Amino acid sequence: DAKTTQPPSMDCAEGRAANLPCNHSTISGNEYVYWYRQIHSQGPQYIIHGLKNNETNEMASLIITEDRKSSTLILPHATLRDTAVYYCIVSKEYGNKLVFGAGTILRVKS
């Protein structure tokens, strides 16, 4: 599975959009980009995933660059409850495991 690079931490003001970047320059054609988050020591929570196209759901939007070498997770109106560690993971189609890196600690501040 391709390796991902994320900034160790970011701050965001409550009510503003949080844009979390991820670099995955060695991604291959059959690999998806997944985003999970972990609030304190709870189980990782699935947010969104995509292959090529931008994706949006009720939680977030995922923007994948045309060359697929990087992506951005957007939380449109961050709240204090969005404070968590956010993991960007690249996983093969029909893959067996998720490889978690250190992630980005997002702190939403009032």
Q: How far apart are the first and last CA of the chain?
A: 37
Which residues, 79 to 98, sit near other proteins by CB under 8 A? 87, 91-98
CA distance 80 to 110: 7
C-beta of 75 vs 89, nearer to other proteins: 89
53 near other proteins (CB under 8 A): no
66 near other proteins (CB under 8 A): no
Q: CB–CB of 108/84 below 8 Å?
A: no
CA distance 63 to 51: 10
Given candidates 7, 15, 76, 101, which one binds other proteins under the rule CB under 8 A?
101
C-beta of 12 vs 47, nearer to other proteins: 47
Given candidates 21, 49, 51, 107, which one binds other proteins under the rule CB under 8 A?
49
Q: Which residues bind other proteins (CB under 8 A)?
A: 34, 36, 38, 41-46, 49, 87, 91-102
